[in-house]
Amino acid sequence: MRIEVQLPTWLGHVITSGEVTLFTDDKEALHLKAGNKKIDLDVVDKKFVKDVVGSLGGRTSIRGRLSQIKSIAEELRNEELTVTVSYKGNRVVTVGAKAKPKISRVLTGTNAIEINSLRKLIELGV
């Protein structure tokens, strides 16, 4: 029997607690903090995020990316895991179990994605 899970869901089960900071070219890019079925990602370098999102491959349209993010978010919710993404300390989006969308539910088509700051999301260019 083979069970497939998305990478964020797998990470949510593997990384139970701790903190790590990622650097690219000697420059801080991302700070990750995990605990209590929650992973907080604080983006410091938006170029890093654009490179990661761009490397996902295949799904270059906004609709394609949204579909992929929606699938990940719903899987996280089902597994009772939450991932938050912030930009320089300001929460941008919450996906998974603790997402409490209001208007963003209309935009995303799911209750597993909460857009906390549309302005910052646009600024990240995701």
> What is the pLDDT at residue 71?
87
In a domain, 1, yes or no: no
Q: Which domain holds residue 26?
A: 7-124
In a domain, 98, yes or no: yes
> What is the pLDDT at residue 1?
46
- What the block records as the tokens of 1 is 């029997």
Residues of the chain with pLDDT under 70: 1-14, 53-62, 126
pLDDT in tens, 27-63: 999 898 988 899 999 999 888 877 776 665 555 666 7
Domain total in the chain: 1
> What is the pLDDT at residue 2?
44
In a domain, 91, yes or no: yes
Instruction: Classify residue 42 by its DSSP letter.
Output: E
> What is the pLDDT at residue 94?
95
In a domain, 47, yes or no: yes
In a domain, 27, yes or no: yes
* Residue among 39, 44, 15, 10 nearest 29 (CA): 44
d(CA 125, CA 109): 20
In a domain, 63, yes or no: yes
In a domain, 13, yes or no: yes
d(CA 25, CA 17): 26
In a domain, 2, yes or no: no
